[in-house]
Amino acid sequence: MNRVDVGVAARGALGGLAALALVSASPVPPLASAAPAAAADARPGGHGGGQGRAPRKPNIVFMLADDLGWSDLRTGRVNGGHGSDFNDTPAIDRLAAEGMSFDNAYACLNCAPTRMELLGGSYPTRAENNVFAVDSLDRGGPDTLLVGPPQGREDGADVLAPQTRTVGETLQRAGYRTGYIGKFHVTRSGSDVVAQHGFDENLGGSEWGLARQYFATDGQFDLSVGPELDRFAGDYTQEYVAANIAPYSSGVSPAQLAALVGTRKHVSDAVADATIDFIDRNDRAPFLAWMSPYAVHEPTGVEQARPDLLAKYQARPPGTTASQPSYAALTEGLDQSVARVIDHLESTPDPRNPGHVLADNTLVIFTSDNGGREDTGASNGPLRGQKGELYEGGVRVPWIAWSGSRRLVEDHTRNHAVINATDLYPTLASYAGARVPRRAPLDGTDLREAIETKAKVEGRPRFGHMPGYLVDGGRAQRPESTVRDGRWKLTYSYEDRTLRLNDLGRDLGEAVDRAAAKPGVVARLGLELVDWLHDTTAPLARLRPGLPPLTLTVPHGVTYADGRIRHHRRATTLVIQPGQEVPLVLPLPRQRRHGHQAHHR
């Protein structure tokens, strides 16, 4: 019997539906734990102190929600005070309150490129990645001006290259046991997660980018979920509901909990089961548990939500924010899975750190792989756009660091630094004391000092690039590149060759174009963007075959295309033939032109 079974037996000792009724009538607060008395330096409010000696290498639990919107959490700490007033997310809210919450965190516009950034540490523009969106860069119909370049591997697959040394592999080499639980997506098969991508175990990861069905059937999940998760797919029992659902429920009646018994297991619960199981079997060494829930990716209809949570939200009056009951139920189900893992860390003795629980030597990071998709029920608050777009609503995500130890995370802190998904790799490697690969390009910043001590994060610009089209589901993303530096965000459109400047410090909704009023800022950010495209050899969209040549008049300034920066001392006419890259064109004030030319020698 593993520790999950022991917990079920102990917590279910009251037996049957009487236990369910008792627990539901007097609910245990989310994340309540029974930490050993030896952890005497616990923080007020239940956040363990862990100030004594601890093993040099901390455990790491990385939690990656799927398509969670910037404002889907009830807490306002990760979204500038724009939390949901409909969804309940007490566990994640607690992590944000007790740990360090970031409200300027970025990912890519959808899941495949973000997952590659997280795992490989480099931008999609680099040839090693070369994935900018799921499936195709030509999701704009047959009549667009431009077409996207080839992406992915040689067969077009949006998968990690086998030679990429992932953060999992880097931590393996530093002595970590590594486990991947849940959605993987950027692989050719589930077996490659272990064979090629740096994980000792894969529990549910496959080449699929979603769970087509959230519930198991006859003890098995849909083929879109890796079969390794099937051993956690058994129907709900009285003991399971009493131990693993009832303690984390609020606003749900005993009868609704009791009605779960004998019904099909939800994949969010199975992901939590598998994560806890991996931790239990590997806690005598430092471990990396990469927990990647399928929620809240579509499908998000009523048939995908756990019935007790669905009934709760169907009975709740709509809020002022997005208020779709099935989506809210999936979101709270995700929160409960987080609660169970954190509870387990706080209540399980650490065999490497006697007298303490696992939480006292564990770093937890929670984030999402992109912004929320509004047509499925997500909320990105005041941000413009949604998943699949380079507007803030598509790329800004919640980001939280938490630990039971102040030694690992400075607690009760809001951090307004601009950070990116590429920062995860160097940060985890730093915590693990691992050597990062010398030759592989790592584009991120090591955030460890900032997380541990509130040190200022280096003010680096952060970039986005979409060399194709994603026009569906209310989205209208066309070929663009962006750079965020401080409060300013510059966006370049390759179709009409315009530059848009937004002051995100005053204009979260990107409603006011400040380009005409701030030519100096446009020039500065534009040069940063051109340099980045060049340094990462970014491919661009091409003029659609069959169209007439495109004639451009380029003022003095610079252009980027075909991996090269060109300097134009005077107005120049360029003729772009069908099939050729359409360049980024950056006009420059005369006093800036020579400085940039000197920069590139």
Q: What is the mean pLDDT of residues 94-114?
A: 98
Token readout for 433 is: 């004391």
Task: Give the span between the Cα atoms of 130 and 137, in whole angstroms.
Answer: 11
pLDDT at 272 over 60: yes
User: Of 198, 204, 357, 193, which is closest to residue 272 (Cα–Cα)?
Assistant: 204
pLDDT tens-digit profile of 168-222?
999 999 999 999 999 999 999 999 999 999 999 999 999 999 999 999 999 999 9
Q: Which residues contact 580 (CB under 8 A, 6 or more apart)?
A: 542, 543, 561, 562
Token readout for 97 is: 């309150």
- The structure tokens 């965000």 sit at 489
pLDDT at 8 over 70: no
- The structure tokens 């919450």 sit at 101
Angle of helix 3-11 versus helix 267-282 axis, rounded to 10: 120
User: Of 115, 134, 113, 138, which is closest to residue 124 (Cα–Cα)?
Assistant: 113
Residue 266's pLDDT band, with cuts at 50, 70 and 90, is very high
Q: What percent of the chain has pLDDT over 70?
A: 89
Q: In this predicted structure, what is the pLDDT of residue 7?
A: 35
Residue 493 has, within 13 A of its CA and on its CB side, a CA count of: 13
Q: Which residues contact 45 (CB under 8 A, 6 or more apart)?
A: 98
SS3 374: helix
pLDDT at 5 over 60: no
b/e for 485-519, b at 16 or more Cβ within 10 A? beebbbbbebeebebbbbbbeebbebeebbbeebb
Q: In this predicted structure, what is the pLDDT of residue 591?
A: 66
State how beta strands 138-139 and 413-415 pair: unpaired
pLDDT at 49 over 90: no
Other beta carbons less than 10 A from residue 573's beta carbon: 8
User: Of 140, 102, 71, which is closest to residue 466 (Cα–Cα)?
Assistant: 140
pLDDT tens-digit profile of 228-260?
999 999 999 999 999 999 999 999 999 999 999
- Which amino acid, one-letter code, is at 449? E
Task: Give the span between the Cα atoms of 291 and 340, in whole angstroms.
Answer: 12
Q: What is the mean pLDDT of residues 540-558?
A: 95
- Name the DSSP class of 5: H
Token readout for 28 is: 């245990």
Residue 53's pLDDT band, with cuts at 50, 70 and 90, is low
Distances (CA, A) of 161 to 64, 156, 167, 192: 21, 12, 14, 11
Task: Give the span between the Cα atoms of 272 and 274, in whole angstroms.
Answer: 5
Alpha helices, DSSP H only, in 125-237?
167-173, 190-195
Token readout for 77 is: 């700490």
Task: Give the span between the Cα atoms of 197 and 179, in whole angstroms.
Answer: 11
Other beta carbons less than 10 A from residue 29's beta carbon: 12
Task: Give the span between the Cα atoms of 258 and 305, in whole angstroms.
Answer: 16
CA torsion 470-475-480-483 (nearest 10°) is -130
Q: In this predicted structure, what is the pLDDT of residue 285?
A: 97
Q: What domains can be seen in the chain, in order of their start residue?
A: 42-100+160-229+264-457 (3.40.720.10), 479-599 (3.30.1120.10)
Distances (CA, A) of 53 to 111, 176, 361, 516: 39, 20, 10, 57
Task: Give the span between the Cα atoms of 243 and 237, in whole angstroms.
Answer: 10
pLDDT tens-digit profile of 386-442?
999 999 999 999 999 999 999 999 999 999 999 999 999 999 999 999 999 887 789
Task: Give the span between the Cα atoms of 230 and 179, in whole angstroms.
Answer: 16
pLDDT tens-digit profile of 509-544?
999 999 999 999 999 999 999 999 999 999 999 999
- Greatest CA span in the chain, whole angstroms? 83
CA torsion sign for 280, 282, 287, 293 is negative
Task: Give the span between the Cα atoms of 110 and 115, in whole angstroms.
Answer: 9
Question: How much is the mean pLDDT over the chain?
Answer: 90
For residue 299, cis peptide bond before it (omega within 30 degrees of 0): yes
Residue 155's pLDDT band, with cuts at 50, 70 and 90, is confident
pLDDT tens-digit profile of 190-204?
999 999 999 999 999
Task: Give the span between the Cα atoms of 550 and 298, in whole angstroms.
Answer: 40
Q: Which residues contact 485 (CB under 8 A, 6 or more apart)?
A: 418, 459, 461, 462, 524, 525, 528
- Please say whether the beta carbons of 467 and 540 come within 8 A: yes
pLDDT at 30 over 50: no
- Please say whether the beta carbons of 113 and 124 come within 8 A: yes
Q: In this predicted structure, what is the pLDDT of residue 15?
A: 38
- Please say whether the beta carbons of 353 and 361 come within 8 A: yes
